[in-house]
Amino acid sequence: MEILQGLTSPEFDTLWMGDHNWCEAPNIRRGGWSGVRKVELETPDGVVPVYLKQQFRHSYRSWTNLFIKQPTALREYRNIRRLHRVDLPTVDVAIFAIKGDTAILGTRALEGYQSLDQLDLDSLTLPQRRELLRSIARCISKLHHHHYQHNCLYPKHIFVRQSDGKWSVKLIDLEKMKRRWRRGAAMKHDLDSLHRRSLMLFNQRDHITFLRAYLKEQKASSTRQRRLLRRFFCHGVIFGSKT
């Protein structure tokens, strides 16, 4: 397979052989490896910072094509495009290429954004903190409204930026995102993952603020909201001791 989007074959080779100062050291799995480094790329908009994911024989098989391996970068590229089509905020692709057993996915750096796990939450006022949680809830609710399950919904994969009192939210790391037939299945899996990974970030009041905003976006009735809040509390999905 060969796909070259945004660069020529010689440019691909130059990028592939470039300085390997990894910001995410290659992890070896799936019979190959995948790593990320930050580079400066010339684009029609000028030189821009880009996070370059490089993969070698880092592949998967889909249910629709069990006999052919495809690079996981291809799955992530397709998922980015799926979110763009439904106007869900995520990264912008600068370049994408597959050449033999190698693949490159370059996404523009999210300038001015911070991952949720790096944000100093204690520096926020209570209204700022609540609006942050509501903005994240709206974004995730929209994801689930379209039946998409992030599958790795951790604070480090939620990037936020504050401007003029409002929060912008973007989701990253879409390699494992998939579509579910039932929105409830996507909701339970992702909210459980987010809760377990944010126990040290948010208190119980924060979780309640987030969940109420999420359910409001889902247009759940007040009765249904109370029922779901009780269910999550009792079963440990949002507020329990499950880790």
Cβ 142 vs Cβ 150: under 8 Å: no
CATH number of residue 119's parent domain:
1.10.510.10
Q: Looking at the domain assignment, is residue 231 inside a domain?
A: yes
* Rounded-to-integer distance, Cα 68 and Cα 46, Å: 38
Question: Has residue 242 been placed in a domain?
Answer: no
Q: Distance from first CA to last CA of the chain, Å, rounded?
A: 42
Let me know whether 45 and 102 are in one domain.
yes
Residue whose pair of structure tokens reads 């470039």 in the numeric block: 18
CATH number at residue 41: 3.30.200
Do both 86 and 157 map to the same domain? Answer: no
Q: Same structural domain for residues 118 and 217? A: yes
CB 210 within 8 A of CB 218: no
- Residue 1, CB-side half-sphere exposure with 13 Å CA sphere: 14
Q: How many domains does one find in the chain? A: 2
pLDDT in tens for each of the 243 residues of the chain?
445 665 668 888 888 887 768 888 888 876 789 999 999 988 777 889 999 999 998 777 666 666 677 888 999 999 999 999 999 999 999 999 998 889 999 999 999 999 999 999 999 999 999 999 999 999 999 999 999 999 999 999 999 999 988 999 999 999 999 999 998 899 889 998 998 899 889 988 898 899 889 987 766 556 666 666 665 555 444 444 333
Residues 119 and 48 in one domain: no
118 and 230 within one domain:
yes
Show the DSSP H helices in the chain as ranges: 9-16, 72-85, 126-145, 183-197, 204-217, 222-235
Domain residues for the domain of 48 are 2-108
Q: How buried is residue 166: exposed, middle or buried, by Cβ count under 10 Å (0-12/13-18/19+)?
A: exposed
Same domain, 80 and 178: no
Answer yes or no: do 97 and 199 share one domain. no
